[in-house]
Chain A
């Protein structure tokens, strides 16, 4: 990790992986280390941090702007840490405001379709995370941006969301739906437009005329923004492919998380996006390598039979369970390392309790940087 953080050419680190593997904590720990040890002016964009972790970073309100984190040990290095929590709806509002005049924006904000889409559209969170990344990048105030990605149903969603949303907002479908006549005339579209005329009649019947009116208003208002949306999505996509970006896969040694990580590694390759390594969180290791699980358990049984050393018998059972878990985890992780032997991997030992303060993040940072 220190090698990546010391490389001033790396200006964006994207942490991705399936939900529940410690992505947010990893992102925060990396950002803290970049500021404290490498003197970098760092901002970390978190999506949905655990409350106590958020508080420890001073993220008590969701105001969608980076705030400097006080009380870190960066006096010597001269680095800074800023942190922010993504407000999906507000980011969407900002995008709308940036692309249209205030009167039109007000109209868009009042539309029920916009309201539904800006808060519940599948993929909005992913898209807005990428949008925010683009914004932070464009401001040029930070020399390192660390991004946490949303806990998607699939780790791939945030890569696909910009394209999906821009395709949707591109409005060809919307305009066809609302004005089949406009798109007609050309023979190759005749079947399609015929279906569309019928489709909009069906939609009208199923959903009611009010819905179509709202939809129509939404489309008309968004019409001027389509180009801008797509352009921004494409820009962000190019930033993700650039040499200044490093993707970090975050996983835990569990079959689902490892499968997702392997899938994601393949996908990043296809998209020509730079994969810097795998962070394997929550790894269990035994402190007594030489004592096998079998021998430990047999000794525990023996002590119990003989009596008098219950506490030692317990400790030996704890050790046996830990040793077995370590073996199991190594086997699970091998599914990734066998498939991607060239991807560097760093392990972070499981902490007995969850991380929710700066000290805890520092410990994770140390673990990430072990040689």
Chain B
């Protein structure tokens, strides 16, 4: 799940993880930017680097969440191959791991996406542990670079396990198992970034899923153009004040609303021209609680 900052991609990612858990499944919701957005959303304290249950569904499904820490992911990775033990902890204390994940941004992204791949393909008793893994990914401006792991690491690591790892991740990200959804608002910048990101991902051969239009508002005007004269008559019929301030105030509000709607409509057309499936999610006026997430999940998956 990607999208411009502020479009609500964490919320949409969480709703999708919940929706996919329905039917008694287990899903994993992953964040990689250290923002602790999942914890915030579910009203929990900061999540450790550990898969832990954050929500359940009525039919026995559950959502687990994981905040990937690149340092710990590197340690885990090194440990898997080289059995570091106490020496690994010493490295961490000295900042060596921070250093290694900082010097090579590509390396950092391979570790993050690598962790997602590991969770996605993990099995227990010959069954996949997770029915689905939802990644709250970096925003549209960085998504191409983040998911194009092979290119980034190929520049730095020409051989070795990191290279193999990045190739495996790249293969998964380009397979039908992956779908990148883009969250947007009906506002100019997010729509522009959505268009750009989809172009970029297309070029990289990474499968794109839905365009999610978030925080949409239902149309309030039936389309009949309102005039001040009609307003005055209508207000009188409803027994409301018909003074000039009220009439011109309501008139200005209706006009601004119409302007806004026209702009939204043209942006909607621009998004539709991308040719991806589109889904619109309602604005949640009273904030995001569990019921709201369930509503979003139903809309996202078309199960409403």
Partner-B contacts on A (CB < 8 A): 18-21, 48, 50-52, 112-113, 115-117, 120-122, 151, 153-154, 164, 168, 173-174, 177, 191-192, 194-196, 198-199, 202-203, 205-208, 210-211, 214-215, 252, 254-257, 286-288, 290-291, 295, 299-300, 302-303, 306, 308-319, 321-322, 324-325, 328, 352-354, 356
Is B246's CB under 8 angstroms from A303's CB? no
B238 interface neighbour in A19, A211, A299, Cβ under 8 Å: A299
Which residues of chain B come closer than 8 Å to A202, judged between CB atoms?
78, 82, 84
The 0/1 profile, CB within 8 Å of A marked 1, for residues 54-97 of chain B is: 00000000000000000000000010011010010011001110
Which residues of chain A come closer than 8 Å to B6, judged between CB atoms?
18-21, 252, 254, 256-257
Is B103's CB under 8 angstroms from A113's CB? yes
A116 interface neighbour in B156, B231, B245, Cβ under 8 Å: B156
Partner-A contacts on B (CB < 8 A): 4-7, 33-35, 78, 81-82, 84, 87, 90-91, 94-96, 99-100, 102-108, 138-139, 141, 145, 152, 155-163, 187-190, 192, 217, 220-222, 224-227, 230-231, 233-235, 237-241, 245-246, 248-254, 256-257, 259-260, 263, 285, 287
Which residues of chain B come closer than 8 Å to A295, judged between CB atoms?
240
User: How far does the alpha carbon of A291 sit from the alpha carbon of B96 in the complex, in Å?
Assistant: 63
Which residues of chain A come closer than 8 Å to B157, judged between CB atoms?
206-208, 210-211
Across the A-B interface, the 5 shortest Cβ-Cβ residue pairs: A312-B234, A20-B6, A19-B5, A287-B249, A309-B234
Q: A198-B87, A210-B159, A311-B224 are in contact. Are A50 and B192 (CB under 8 A)?
A: yes
Other A-B contacts than A112-B156, A215-B103, A299-B238, 9 sampled, CB-CB below 8 A, are A120-B145, A153-B138, A192-B94, A195-B91, A211-B158, A303-B238, A311-B234, A312-B231, A353-B260
**Shortest beta-carbon distance from A52 to chain B in Å:** 8
B160 interface neighbour in A48, A164, A206, A306, Cβ under 8 Å: A206
Q: Closest chain A residue to B100 by CB distance?
A: A203
**Shortest beta-carbon distance from A57 to chain B in Å:** 16
Most buried by B among A173, A202, A295, A315: A315
Which residues of chain B come closer than 8 Å to A151, judged between CB atoms?
5, 139, 141
Q: Closest chain B residue to A164 by CB distance?
A: B102
User: How far does the alpha carbon of A309 sit from the alpha carbon of B34 in the complex, in Å?
Assistant: 53
User: How far does the alpha carbon of A257 sit from the alpha carbon of B103 in the complex, in Å?
Assistant: 31
Q: A214-B156, A303-B234, A354-B188 are in contact. Are A318 and B91 (CB under 8 A)?
A: no
Is B104's CB under 8 angstroms from A116's CB? yes
A-B contact count (CB 8 A): 217
A312 interface neighbour in B7, B82, B238, B256, Cβ under 8 Å: B238
Is A211's CB under 8 angstroms from B156's CB? yes
Is A208's CB under 8 angstroms from B34's CB? no
Which residues of chain A come closer than 8 Å to B250, judged between CB atoms?
287-288, 291, 315-316, 318-319
**Shortest beta-carbon distance from A128 to chain B in Å:** 15
Q: A310-B224, A311-B226 are in contact. Are A207 and B246 (CB under 8 A)?
A: no
Which residues of chain B come closer than 8 Å to A153, judged between CB atoms?
5, 33-35, 138-139
Q: Closest chain A residue to B240 by CB distance?
A: A299
Is A309's CB under 8 angstroms from B106's CB? no
B226 interface neighbour in A50, A173, A192, A315, Cβ under 8 Å: A315
B237 interface neighbour in A122, A288, A308, A318, Cβ under 8 Å: A308
Q: Closest chain A residue to B88 by CB distance?
A: A195
Q: A18-B6, A255-B287, A287-B250 are in contact. Are A312 and B235 (CB under 8 A)?
A: yes
User: How far does the alpha carbon of A210 sit from the alpha carbon of B156 in the complex, in Å?
Assistant: 8
Q: Closest chain A residue to B287 by CB distance?
A: A255
Which residues of chain B come closer than 8 Å to A308, judged between CB atoms?
237
**Shortest beta-carbon distance from B281 to chain A in Å:** 16
Which residues of chain B come closer than 8 Å to A215, judged between CB atoms?
103
Which residues of chain B come closer than 8 Å to A51, judged between CB atoms?
192
User: How far does the alpha carbon of A173 sit from the alpha carbon of B91 in the complex, in Å?
Assistant: 11
User: How far does the alpha carbon of A215 sit from the alpha carbon of B226 in the complex, in Å?
Assistant: 68
Which residues of chain B come closer than 8 Å to A195, judged between CB atoms?
87, 90-91, 94, 96
Q: A208-B160, A317-B220, A354-B188 are in contact. Are A312 and B5 (CB under 8 A)?
A: no
